[in-house]
């Protein structure tokens, strides 16, 4: 479980402070998929990077399973079970996908076991297992493989930053194959079909929590809110 208490984040904009996140407090539970959504610039990716330790909050506290991790490094958080899948995957020349799966899972996987991770993300494993994870792969291929590597890490809290970016409808049709029980999932997304598969939805607007709750209620309220905004415009 991830608990955020009064998280604020600002950056210098000339002589002034530009507020990116303003007093965010919420809980991301185990055995739950929580989707974070909102307009571009609302603070979605910034919030997840703060959870992972990539960015340090200006103020506030972060707890992971009741342990204060606010001042812990990325490595310390990763060892505790936090895992992050970037919107734009990082490639590695000279390392095969099988080797990367072994590194991610911290074990020497059999070919069949390594293939299981790739199959979960809709990849024909035999065509990729011995390939290098480099720029010769398409953006969609890189994204799926990074998702497979994220799953191989067996994290206790897994953060996906726009997992649908660069890939086709697979991310909607097979998403349930990724989510397992007893894990805290945090997913940044704009896609309604992905939000519908979440248990809870957190809506950010200008760095603040606009809505938070069960996905069915939030999606309904979000649709009404968006229609109202369009009408007012």
For every residue of 148-168, which 3-state class applies, written as one string? Answer: HHHHHCCCCEEEEECCCCCCC
Give the distance from CA 74 to its chain's centroid: 15
- Per-residue exposure over 11-23, b if at least 16 CB sit within 10 Å of its own CB, e if not: eeeeeeeebbbbe
When pLDDT is averaged across residues 126-148 and rounded to a whole number, the result is 81
Q: What is the pLDDT of residue 224?
A: 57
Average pLDDT over residues 189-194: 80
pLDDT at 153 (0 to 100): 87
- pLDDT confidence of residue 115: 85
Res 230: pLDDT: 33
Predicted confidence at residue 58, as pLDDT, reads 95
Per-residue pLDDT, 165: 62
pLDDT higher than threshold 90 for residue 87: no
The set of residues, in sequence order, having a beta carbon less than 8 Å from that of 133 and lying 6+ positions away, is: 91, 92, 95, 96, 97, 100, 142, 145
CA 160/CA 180 separation, integer angstroms: 14
Q: Is the Cβ–Cβ distance between 7 and 24 less than 8 Å? A: yes
Rounded to 5, what percent of the chain is helix, strand, coil? 35, 30, 35
Going by pLDDT thresholds of 50, 70 and 90, the confidence category of residue 89 is low
pLDDT at position 86, please? 77
Candidates 187, 222, 217, 216; CA nearest to 203 is 222
Q: What tokens appear for 224 in the block?
A: 């009404």
Q: Which CATH superfamily is domain 1-81+190-233 in?
A: P-loop containing nucleotide triphosphate hydrolases (3.40.50.300)
**pLDDT at site 227:** 40
pLDDT tens digits, residue range 15-68? Answer: 888 999 999 999 999 889 999 999 888 999 999 999 999 999 999 999 999 999
Question: Dihedral (C-alpha) 104, 106, 110, 114: value to the nearest 10 degrees?
Answer: -20
**H helix and E strand count, the chain:** 8, 12
- The position carrying tokens 């000339």 is 14
**What does the block give as tokens for 67?**
């342990």
Share of the chain above pLDDT 70, in %: 86
The answer for 14, left when phi > 0, alpha when psi is -120 to 50, beta otherwise, is left
Q: Which residues pair with 209 in a beta bridge?
A: 204
pLDDT, residue 9, reads: 96
pLDDT range class, residue 8, cuts 50, 70, 90: very high
Q: What is the pLDDT of residue 88?
A: 66
């Amino acid at each position: 479980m991830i608990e955020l208490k009064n998280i604020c984040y600002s950056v210098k904009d000339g002589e002034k402070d530009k507020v990116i996140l303003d007093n965010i407090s919420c809980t991301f539970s185990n055995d739950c998929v929580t989707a974070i959504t909102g307009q571009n610039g609302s603070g979605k990716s910034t919030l997840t990077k703060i959870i992972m330790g990539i960015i340090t909050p200006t103020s506030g506290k972060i707890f992971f399973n009741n342990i204060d991790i606010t001042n812990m490094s990325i490595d310390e958080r990763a060892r505790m079970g936090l895992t992050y899948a970037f919107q734009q995957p990082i490639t590695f020349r000279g390392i095969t996908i099988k080797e990367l799966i072994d590194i991610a899972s911290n074990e020497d996987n059999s070919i069949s076991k390594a293939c299981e991770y790739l199959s979960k993300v809709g990849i024909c494993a035999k065509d990729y297992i011995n390939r290098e994870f480099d720029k010769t792969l398409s953006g969609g291929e890189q994204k799926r493989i990074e998702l497979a590597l994220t799953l191989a890490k067996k994290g206790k809290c897994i953060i996906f930053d726009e997992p649908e970016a660069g890939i086709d409808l697979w991310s909607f049709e097979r998403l349930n194959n990724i989510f397992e029980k007893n894990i805290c999932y945090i997913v940044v997304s704009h896609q309604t079909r992905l939000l519908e598969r979440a248990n809870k939805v957190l809506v950010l607007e200008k760095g603040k929590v606009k809505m938070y709750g069960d996905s069915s209620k939030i999606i309904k309220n979000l649709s009404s809110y968006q229609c109202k905004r369009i009408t007012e415009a």
